A and B are shown apart, each in its own frame.
Chain A
């Protein structure tokens, strides 16, 4: 987002994104129409992304909010990580907002999403086109023990992300400092006593980050937990992942891994220093392990304490979706919206090398049936591009005009043309019950076009890693991606840069086209976000033409909460329910 290079001028980037919830339906194959249609979202959803350097604490009070109460949160699994250097999943980022403050953050109000300073007074100042970024810390930012958060803490927090133990978080900052993906060679982290000279702290309230190349997206990268401050004397390393030292409105009272997590007020957090957070709730009690369907059923019933119950992870299960959407009382207790995520099915381009076969897969894939199993139109709109419409500069296009239920005849024709009418396809999926159901539909759909399909269940825990192995023996597998911040720079390079291929990478289609790689480098250097957006959109079409993935859905979120929960809104950056404004109705 290079508009920020102008010092101290708040530039409002209005990227008006028109998402007409009904528009896509017209393109839907009317094959399954004539059924009960889900009430659609409001006609148009417009996200405005911008920067606001005038944001000040305290955050504007939410109408009707009262202080007090205990919220019970039921999530199917515990947070894998609470250590800011190790957080990447959206639900972990959401809870991190309660305990961890970063240099910058997002202030959201309705469909307005503005980057603002969190620990810092603004989103950062640069005078040399993005090579040096200077941040000044706000007054009154304190740790849970009352001590002030200093620039040394910010520096230590970023240094920590280099350590070889903390590999789970994003790697933007690290690779920008080091100018390479192999950043641990450049700096091994603070545990050996070394310091990262590229971060300077001239005084306790000033942090200066120096990069060798212009890095216009630094303010965005600092909004991720990896840009959080960590107090060196409170760094408990492995234990920090379970019980981090808090800089936010709440702190950990107890955390029994995989069982429960209790957060209580951090009385040393000062609302005046915080532009986005509220602390209405007295106490958060997280309980883990309950199956999502059971959680949804309990929230539907909302007996006793569950009146102030919610989930910060589980979606409304397909089994109860119909009931929830068609019961007005329940529907009013849900948050929903488009997320930054889009889903796709990656084709292993190393194994399926014939473009015609890949196209045949795309035409044969039964997206309609799969979506129906997962809950129908409420779960997402059929995608015609790889990137989600929430990206800046997104252009609606439909390169192939594939009907949602597929086009069996075209697929057959393509296979015949390629000379492999019964092409074998190994479809890999995570071995959860839902995955099994989807697999049945996928197999049925592909077989109709003549493919010989082998279903390969894979341990759900290692699935995303296994399919990232360039030597994997699968041909087709699901995936999804959400931009870390809404530019193509956080979508296309991770997914399609051939130089990133390897275990653990997200380029699971193994596309490695030198021309595409070069173009991605070029676009990443463009200063003007609107122009970059246009180029990314064009690149999207170019990549899609090679069919390394089959676009599936633009993801929608729907989560249920109890009748006494107020202030529930969707965090549009994370695509999940936001916890910072929750209050308990009395």
Chain B
């Protein structure tokens, strides 16, 4: 097992290197001069040259990449408005657009993304799996059909459509919910909760279908397996059968999907954050892409990639622990 984990970790490092380098290259392939964008409207040639030098983008790409990656671990020195500043580990540099330290900006915005991800994932996991399980136990019933239809409707709408709509109805017109916004949990747990309810519901609504159908299908299959039928014949209580014997078989595919979904959400739910103006990492990524803000883009991409890699690894470990049939290759 340990060898497996180590091997996967090494693989993860390589993956992150590939992703970061590819992003770097892509950045330079996108048309537009980041120095000019950073310089703004009233740019003078000297200021442009200054900025170009301070951003260091006139150097060869490989050199810039290496400096950037090295800087993450060992820190770097920058010159800002004529003054020297040092940024320590983990150093992602300073934003091209507003000279703010990238890591601090990320740390500052992450709690919003985390809150959004946590609430939504709990919601869609519990509701989705619950819906699917109950439907599997009552296959063909009205509940089954309505439940699945409900989840499918969710999968068929778009966040950018249903979000503003529900917002206008429930928040603006009916006043049942407060304006969606992120309030730090530590500031006011109540406001934190109320401010995120609508984004959670919308985000979960569009994702429930996958879990419902997955759970339902896996449970149906598991329920008809020989060992379950044998157990039923032996007189085992229904609940034991359902949870103990079918649970394991159901959880593995759900875990795989859930791992990837949570990882993606932790990297920033771009559309949800834009629709509800949650100032998280997703919105940051979009803005920095628009601004051609290289350090910010690299940081958000890397953070998102790390989450995915880590979550995949955790899922694989859990997979191996839960299902003995899986061969660890």
Contacts and interface: CB of A to CB of B under 8 A. Distances in A.
Whether A and B touch (Cβ < 8 Å) is answered with: yes
Interface of A: 80, 88, 164-165, 167-169, 184, 191, 237-238, 242, 256-259, 287, 289-291, 293-294, 297-298, 300-301, 303-304, 306, 459, 461-462, 464-465, 503-504
Nearest to B50: A164
B44 A167 contact: yes
B11 interface: no
Those 8 A-B pairs whose CB atoms lie nearest each other, nearest first:
A301-B172, A238-B81, A290-B277, A237-B81, A167-B42, A259-B279, A289-B277, A303-B175
Contacts of A287: 181, 277
Contact of A301 (B36, B44, B173): B173
B47 A164 contact: yes
B43 A167 contact: yes
Interface stretch (B122-130, B131-139, B283-291): B283-291
Contacts of A80: 40
Interface in B95-112: 98-100, 105, 108-109
B81 A465 contact: no
Contacts of B179: 298, 303-304, 306
Interface of B: 32, 36-37, 39-44, 46-47, 50, 80-83, 98-100, 105, 108-109, 164, 167-168, 171-173, 175, 178-179, 181, 274, 277, 279, 283, 287, 290-291
Nearest to B46: A164
A238 B277 CA distance: 27
A297 B170 CA distance: 12
B279 A237 contact: no
Contacts of B178: 303-304
B269 to A, nearest CB: 15
30 contacts: A80-B40, A164-B47, A164-B50, A165-B50, A167-B39, A167-B43, A168-B40, A168-B42, A237-B82, A238-B80, A238-B99, A242-B98, A256-B108, A259-B279, A287-B181, A297-B168, A297-B172, A301-B172, A301-B175, A303-B171, A303-B175, A306-B179, A459-B32, A459-B290, A461-B37, A462-B36, A464-B41, A465-B43, A504-B42, A504-B44
A165 B81 contact: yes
Contacts of A300: 172
Given A291-B274, A291-B277, A465-B40, 7 more contacts: A164-B47, A238-B81, A238-B99, A297-B167, A303-B175, A304-B178, A462-B32
A304 B100 CA distance: 33
A299 to B, nearest CB: 9
A460 B82 CA distance: 30
B44 A164 contact: yes
Nearest to B43: A504
Nearest to B47: A167
Nearest to A503: B43
Nearest to A299: B172
A461 B290 contact: yes
Nearest to A463: B41
B36 A465 contact: yes
A160 to B, nearest CB: 12
Nearest to A309: B179
Contacts of A298: 171-172, 179
Contacts of A459: 32, 290
B19 to A, nearest CB: 25
A303 B36 CA distance: 42
Contacts of A88: 42
A306 B172 CA distance: 10
B279 A462 contact: no
Contacts of A256: 108
Contacts of B277: 287, 289-291, 294
Contacts of B32: 459, 462
A461 B168 contact: no
Given A164-B46, A164-B47, A300-B172, A461 B279 contact: no
A93 to B, nearest CB: 15
Contacts of B99: 238
A504 B41 contact: yes
B33 to A, nearest CB: 9
Given A167-B44, A167-B47, A257-B98, A294 B283 contact: no
A258 B50 contact: no
A470 B190 CA distance: 56
Contacts of A258: 98, 279, 287
A164 B47 CA distance: 6
A574 B278 CA distance: 31
